[in-house]
Amino acid sequence: MAETNYAVKGMTCDHCVRSVTEEVSEIDGVTEVLVDLPTGAVTVKSAKDIEVADVRAAVEEAGYELTA
């Protein structure tokens, strides 16, 4: 099981958290997404390694920016 941390810019409310969580959760292999709104930290747990490009695309689809 892999666990990777990212930083997301632009989230300001619980709706933002839900949007990012839902989009990232749709990536094949993702088992859990934890979002910390105050810091913008997003932890992705997965059954296999996930490509950063896939996470970036999911975050952008939700309307936000992956910064790290």
CATH of the domain at 51: 3.30.70.100
User: What is the domain count for the chain?
Assistant: 1
Give residue 57's Cα distance to chain centre.
10
pTM of the predicted model over 0.85: yes
Q: Please tell me the predicted confidence (pLDDT) of residue 67.
A: 93
HSE (CB half, 13 Å, CA atoms) of 20?
Answer: 28
Average pLDDT, the chain: 97
Domain extent, residue 51, equals 2-66
Q: Please tell me the predicted confidence (pLDDT) of residue 51.
A: 96
Which tens digit of pLDDT belongs to each residue from 9-41? Answer: 999 999 999 999 999 999 999 999 999 999 999
Which tens digit of pLDDT belongs to each residue from 52-61? Answer: 999 999 999 9
CB distance 35 to 55 below 8 Å: no
CB distance 20 to 59 below 8 Å: yes
